[in-house]
Structure 1
């Protein structure tokens, strides 16, 4: 499958079998008749395996599914960390991850995504999020992976913003890639799901065992919906990036907008690194309006931009991140460009501004 383009890979993520459907329906079994390969629904499900194989092929490793992105990262942390370990994590990444790790008996060292980074000596895990959420800063995965491995540390990358088509951290040296598939992978704002992929068979086995023992398992129907949505990921990302580029062009000089960020723009501070390691730039932009009232006024005037705290879906959405606890200015907005017609979306945004 590696010789195919992205569109072909996601459409044909499940091999064709004569007489079988393109994508088999979800399997809801609890117990199975013993004597075959599957035993019990907490440990085995063919619907999981189908999507895990598809995502593993895109990420370049072995994938383990979880019922949410936070379930994926919390399980990963339980598997790789022990009391007293040191973790380096992004100070500008998803705020709940910082809250999650700070509740554990480990030493936390924070660093901004764009650096500078501390020494990794004595560190057990380096966790990156690139592009960061919500600031959209970027770090050099390959350079940091080399530094982490030289110090004996693991390196994991939250790849939610980039997606498996936009960036392949395992190929750049990461030990694991984490994703909230609630966002672009499923893509239709109707699923909560997550996954971890790794090129280390031993780590994959530990994750599978922990999922089985803890019971942190995804629902078969949600997994099937995400797999169904995966087939249009290439098309959706292309339109979202087209819309993001068009919005960047009109927002960069707009008097009501400041602090505009999108790694796909040559003018963006992160573009040089992003262009080296990302295969596409996605549809998420970040910018500031004058404050809370300005954001609310924008949303009230817009006909196409929804107030929503997720991103990566078909609908263009905007989230004022300070309301959730991110340490950002009150008027900072993360805009996720959807799949609307570009001209319609640009006209709507300009009108709302």
Structure 2
């Protein structure tokens, strides 16, 4: 397979380079950038010196279509929606890491992302790429809408519960926290060292663009789900997301039953690990890996369920999941290029 990465200078693009470099089914990967054409990728990322000194190329859809079987769009929102239709017309498959194809309704995208939506007829071709939920559809897809990082952690944490347990839907509270790399590489006052070091803050209160994506996906588990309570916080660390989720079941349930339910849901999903009773995951335990670790408990005193779901936002929340979807599309081992254990400490 020959693949192209558009947006290779972002953190998600750099992680794609790292993963695809050791991917046994990829014969060639080519890097593209609209802002740094003719600059070697190792100039932007010195850690790639002698590993990949490839120069970034300008985006030319016709030339790229001749030389690529699959294109990864590691671009800001709004760009893929413009470029992807032409690639599809040329017979090239696309895996989009932005939010441009995640919504069934273009009005939802335009409301939350403040950008023009991709054409409706293209949106209808997209398969939502949360592999653990849509594996069969992904196998034959030509366009994958890779999920957002927060939705990945949240949906994997909540889906089995909403699918199998009667829950008071008005009690669902999602308290999510992310490392600074989730904001991207572009310089920003709010993510500068002096602003974020020894600091902890909430952001995009009640208006994070991942809210409708989470709601849309969780309605597949329970169609009665209404608006969710979801807020995000910035943590002074580089990588990682922790979604701590609270809700109240309509009947008493044991922690043992909950854990068995989750184990059954993810029994054949190698990248979701359900932790043993009384054990709750930390972000460091999935650092640099494609794993999502989940801990769950029921508090008999208060009658509330607590779910803790952690991922590496750049891997399972972006590049790793994109490659997992690629593997499913190719019909090869789903973990190809992704088997490395987490980096610890």
Q: TM-score, normalised by structure 1?
A: 0.26
Q: Which has the higher strand share?
A: 2
Q: TM-score, normalised by structure 2?
A: 0.27
